[in-house]
Amino acid sequence: MRGALAAPWALWTVVLVVAFGTNVPTPLLLVYRETLGLAPTTLTAAFGVYAAGLIPALLLSGPASDRLGRRPVVVPFVVLAGLVSILFLAASSSVLVLFAGRFLQGAVSGVVFSVGTAWLGELIGEPGRSARLTTIALAMGWAGGPLVAGLMGQWVVLPTVLPYLVHVALMVVAVALLPLVPETLLPDRRRVGGPVVNLGVPAGTRRAFVLVVVPIAIGVFAFPSTAATVLPLLLTPQMPGIAVAIAGIVAGVTLSTGALVPPLARRLGAERAGPVGLALGAAGLGLALLALATGAWPVLLPVSLLLGAGYGLCLTSGLTIVAGLALPSERGALTGTFYACAYLGFGVPYLLSALAGDGSLTGPLAGLAIVSALAGAALALPGARRLVAP
């Protein structure tokens, strides 16, 4: 029994530590902007290139793990997560290293988060509980990384070195825990043959996936990525001497709030939690517009809470729905497809910046708020809820 309990918590910790590392660079982008002379569009591109490495990894790793097993796919990329943080030690003097590091972080995340989620779900055996625990692990990791990096980046020496060394130390612990986690996809349950890229969407559920799951998935990262990059960047002039720390705090609050909402998602049910998450995200974006109009950067705190609750509800809802839709032999593939859709949200800051051009971001942000509100309202309709009801 002790081993059975240790395995899920060991894997849960590994997922949390890998998630911690993926967001260490987020508040440090303001430091890189100064040291490397980055334009705002380049800055948001450096954030968004993460998705360029992540989406192919998501689409390839899920089907690969359905054929080969979870362990052979996950373990090498957990090790790579620590090596990528070492690579970032040289990012403060090279734009190429910064972009390469973010790209590789995306590849690591694509494998560990998608296959790790399926692996954890099989260890736990209860889709709703595993979705909530996965949400908490990811949210705590994603929140801890920028919070630590923001505070260290603002007030300690070697701001672009020490935060990564903290993550490397945590990765040593994570790698040491991996032997406790057994393979769950035994050979007789593995997928034989099939395409290299397999979306894993069962034929009878494609309409539900496209109309319900995809909008919820995009909301997962559209909200925290906007909170972590666009808003601190726009309000930097109003935060002299504390901008890096505030960027880390905003990212930390947004992402940690996501760890607090799974109990609410459980009460709402997966088919209601997603629309509520989109609505809360729209409310947070509306409040962000007020902060930008008045220059009142403290308003970023309630904005972070709303956007964080929105992202957490969308993530828990989406993972629960996907676990219910997936066939056992294609769970890794479908989970990877969900995350691929979710990480499209990482491109939102770049899209907003590109739409604004040399003008104000108010219009694009307002448009994102309106689209989010309309999507939430549409998915709250009884017909949409019936598509994904248990």
Distance CA 116, CA 186 (A): 16
286's enclosing H/E stretch is: helix 270-294
> When comparing pLDDT for 257 and 323, which is higher?
257
Distance CA 146, CA 27 (A): 6
Residue 287: count other Cβ atoms within 10 Å of its Cβ.
18
pLDDT (0 to 100) of residue 2: 47
Does 139 score more than 90 pLDDT?
Answer: no
Distance CA 25, CA 360 (A): 26
Q: If we measure between CA atoms, which residue out of 213, 244, 222 comes closest to residue 307? A: 222
169-173, 223-227, 341-345: range with highest mean pLDDT: 169-173
For the chain, give every domain's residue range: 2-180+204-388
Half-sphere exposure of 322 (CA within 13 A, CB side): 35
Instruction: Supply the pTM of this predicted model.
Output: 0.78
Distance CA 277, CA 266 (A): 13
Share of the chain above pLDDT 70, in %: 97
Torsion of CA 202, 204, 206, 211, to 10 degrees: -140
Distance CA 279, CA 281 (A): 5
Distance CA 349, CA 347 (A): 6
DSSP 381: S
Tens-place pLDDT, residues 4-56: 568 999 999 999 999 999 989 988 988 998 889 888 778 778 877 888 888 88
Q: If we measure between CA atoms, which residue out of 308, 297, 291 comes closest to residue 223? A: 308
Instruction: Report the chain's mean pLDDT, rounded to a whole number.
Output: 88
DSSP 226: I
Tens-place pLDDT, residues 339-366: 888 888 877 887 888 888 777 788 899 9
281's enclosing H/E stretch is: helix 270-294
pLDDT (0 to 100) of residue 390: 66
Distance CA 33, CA 31 (A): 5
Q: How far apart are the first and last CA of the chain?
A: 30
Q: Please, what sign has the CA dihedral across residues 287, 289, 294, 295?
A: positive
Q: If we measure between CA atoms, which residue out of 263, 281, 233 comes closest to residue 131? A: 263
State both tokens at 325.
Answer: 């839709």
CATH class in words for 2-180+204-388: mainly alpha
State both tokens at 51.
Answer: 């998705």
Tens-place pLDDT, residues 146-162: 999 999 989 998 999 99
Q: Classify residue 3 as exposed, middle or buried by CB count within 10 Å of its CB (0-12, 13-18, 19+).
A: exposed
Q: How confident is the model at residue 84 (pLDDT cuts 50, 70, 90)?
A: very high
